[in-house]
Structure 1
Amino acid sequence: MRTKIINISIPGQLLSDADKLAEKEYRTRSELFREALRSYILTRQNLSQIYNYGETQAKKQKISPENLNRKIASFRKN
């Protein structure tokens, strides 16, 4: 995959923390940011699949959003 150069704004402390972590892990700053972005994207995709599954199951069982909240609250109490 061909790389692209981008510019982003990051608070100084966050950049400093990232640089320390990259050094500790013997990575470049770019490698660290690429891995962080990959991880974020994968997490979002996984959460989306989980939400979609839950929505599908709720529809199959004819559970409205309001009833779902009640069921969750009841489950948590037990």
Structure 2
Amino acid sequence: MNTSTVNIAFRKDLLKMIDQIAKSESRSRSELIREAARMYIERKNRWKMIYDFGEKTAKANDISGDDILKEIKEYRKSLER
């Protein structure tokens, strides 16, 4: 695996929590932070895909942002009954 070393600064309390979790899971601080970065990137990519799908669907069905807000308001009103 091709790797690069980086320096990162954390608040002491955050670093303590990172170390506690890493220890409880029997892995290194680096492994925990790498996984956190991967998970963050995956989540960002999933949300982008969802957003892009919504945009594409809205355009294909001629739905505006105002139409969506109207539907949300109507739905919330129906829950109050």
Q: Given the two structures, how large is their TM-score scaled by the length of structure 2?
A: 0.88
- Matched to 1:52, the amino acid is D
Which structure: larger Rg? 2
Q: Given the two structures, how large is their TM-score scaled by the length of structure 1?
A: 0.91
- Matched to 1:43, the amino acid is R
User: Which sections of structure 2, spanning at least 5 residues, go unmatched?
Assistant: none
**Counterpart position of 1:74:** 74
Shift of 1:11: 1.2
**Counterpart position of 2:41:** 41
Aligned length: 78
Alpha-carbon distance in structure 1 between the residues aligned to 2:64 and 2:50: 17
Percent identity reads: 40
- Matched to 1:65, the amino acid is G
Q: Cα RMSD between the aligned structures?
A: 1.1
Runs of 4+ in structure 1 over 3 Å off: none
Q: Summarize deviations over 1:13-43 as a string: whole Å, max 9, x none.
A: 1110000000000000000000000000001
**Counterpart position of 2:29:** 29
